[in-house]
């Protein structure tokens, strides 16, 4: 699924189960790719990884059209911690902004993100164990 472009230098950063991956573009951008999902690009590899964790935490979601309709419903339904992790990945937000939005501390938001990361790791491990590579 890596999209080669003559003007773009790409390398695989993360290769997850179910054909989900993160690709480094030109050494300074990171693209999340998944089947039937609009590629999302990030400045920070940790944001791309957290976005992938949110994707696995809610069993996938569709980002296309989100700019017109807001946050994907699957993310909202995932709960407070999943929504916080998703918001942290947005280019206009960071842990401090999300903490302010929630009326929480940055430590609380980091804890929410760690819960999402942990659940996503468990989901990927289970998928691999079931042969869903």
| Residue 43 domain flag | yes
| Residue 35 domain flag | yes
pTM of the model: 0.85
| Residue 3 domain flag | no
| Residue 5 domain flag | no
Which domain does 120 fall in, by range?
Answer: 10-129
Structurally, how many domains does the chain consist of?
Answer: 1
Model confidence at 4: pLDDT above 50: no
| Residue 2 domain flag | no
| Residue 34 domain flag | yes
| Residue 4 domain flag | no
Q: What is the pLDDT of residue 14?
A: 95
Quick one: how far is CA 115 from the chain centroid?
A: 14
Q: What is the pLDDT of residue 113?
A: 98
Question: Model confidence over 57-98: pLDDT tens digits?
Answer: 999 998 877 766 578 989 999 999 999 999 999 998 999 999
Q: Which of 55, 28, 53, 29 is nearest to 42 (CA)?
A: 29
């Amino acid at each position: 699924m890596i999209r080669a472009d003559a003007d773009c230098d790409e390398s695989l950063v993360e290769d997850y189960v179910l054909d989900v991956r993160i690709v480094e573009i030109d050494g300074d951008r990171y693209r999340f790719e998944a089947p039937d999902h609009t590629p999302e690009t990030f400045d920070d590899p940790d944001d791309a990884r957290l976005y992938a964790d949110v994707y696995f935490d809610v069993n996938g979601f569709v980002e296309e059209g989100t700019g017109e309709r807001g946050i994907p419903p699957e993310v909202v339904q995932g709960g407070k911690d999943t929504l916080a992790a998703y918001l942290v990945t947005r280019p206009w937000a960071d842990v401090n902004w999300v903490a302010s939005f929630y009326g929480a501390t940055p430590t609380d938001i980091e804890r929410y993100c760690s819960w999402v990361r942990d659940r996503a790791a468990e989901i990927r491990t289970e998928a691999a164990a079931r042969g869903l590579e």
